[in-house]
Structure 1
Amino acid sequence: MTAPDPTDLFRIVYRSRSALPGDAEAVRQAVSALVAASRCRNAQAGVTGALLFAAPHVVQALEGPAAAVEATFDRICCDLRHVDIEVVECGPVLELAFGEGALSHVVPDAADGAMLARPENGIEPADAAAAAMKLMLTLLQLAETGRVAPSRPAA
């Protein structure tokens, strides 16, 4: 993937709820297949980011050229494998938070995953976005040091 144009960097962070059918193993396999296909599409489009999946919750950050990120998100919004899509951050950024890999994928432990539930106490979207980004970045850093199990290709 070529280096992104630093004057056209854009990020969308959203959360949703998985609508994947089946038992835990079927869902795990479906998510693995989805991540593999997304890595190929994202690499071709110049989109990077991270996907955090803690059944049934999903948080994903997409970064890259504005048009490519928006087209990717439009396709995601039409995907019936998840529901209740809520954008928690959307706008231009100065740098990529997740590097230049097509898609990092982390499956947190149950305690981390519980933080992805939609808050009922009126947390502002900006606070939710900051918390989601911090959790994804922390889990990816822990994965790189071997302290959590990522589903991420070696660099």
Structure 2
Amino acid sequence: MTITRLSYRSRINFSEMTLSLDEEVDRLLAVARRNNARDGVTGALLLAGNTFFQILEGDGDAVESTYSRIVDDARHGGCLVLDRRRDTSRLLPDLPLFFADALDSHEGVLSSLYIPICQAPDLASYDDLVSAIIFSAARQVRQDRQPRALSA
């Protein structure tokens, strides 16, 4: 089976938010996880200061449709595709949407991955993003922590 993997970054458009950043992110995660589960899309969202980075994986049409909805979402500005590729397996097969906030990471290795992304998001590459996300997801599973709470 072949899947599409698309990664992008966008700037947070605070003027389009009606709630606090934490509440907006919780609402965004709840809706995105529901939509992703429905559409067979998996992936991860990284919040790094005022920048979102995301990896979307799944059927090509479903991934492109999801990305189109994101581009049209006024809370995202300046969406830029970092990488689009085809692959035979998913990086995060069981996660409709893993979430990590780079500012929550104070551990040595994890913060060393996040600090460059936060300090220079325009220079962050696909490989930087994948490394940070995979390491974060593995740490979370090992620590048996639950992903960020869902609020509707």
| TM-score bracket for this pair, using the shorter chain length | 0.7 to 0.9
Cα displacement (A) at 1:82: 1.4
Per-residue Cα deviation, 1:56-76 (whole angstroms, up to 9, x for no partner): 111100000001001100111
More displaced 10-residue stretch of structure 1: 98-107 or 66-75: 98-107
Task: Verify: 1:63 aligned to 2:57, yes or no.
Answer: yes
Match of 2:127 among 126, 130, 136: 130
Alignment of 1:105-116 (within 5 A): 105-108=99-102, 109=104, 111=111, 112=114, 114-116=116-118
Conserved in 1, the CA contact under 8 Å of 2:16 and 2:75? Answer: no
Which residue is equivalent to 2:12?
18
Percent of pairs with identical residues: 27
- CA shift in 2, pair 1:147/1:47, >3 Å: closer
Report if the CA contact (8 A) 2:47-2:100 is conserved: yes
The alignment's TM-score, normalised by the length of structure 2, stands at 0.80
Is structure 2 residue 67 aligned with structure 1 residue 73?
Answer: yes
Q: Number of residue pairs matched?
A: 140
**Paired residues of 1:107 and 1:149 also in contact (CA < 8 A):** no
Conserved in 1, the CA contact under 8 Å of 2:48 and 2:117? no
Residue 91 (structure 2) pairs with residue 94 (structure 1) = no
Alignment partner, residue 32 of structure 1: 26
Q: Which runs of 5+ in 2 are unaligned?
A: 106-110
Q: By how many angstroms is 1:100 displaced?
A: 2.6
Measured after TM superposition, the shift of residue 102 of structure 1 is: 1.1
Q: Look up the match of 1:143.
A: 140
- Which letter maps to 1:95? S
CA distance in 2, matches of 1:19, 1:147: 33
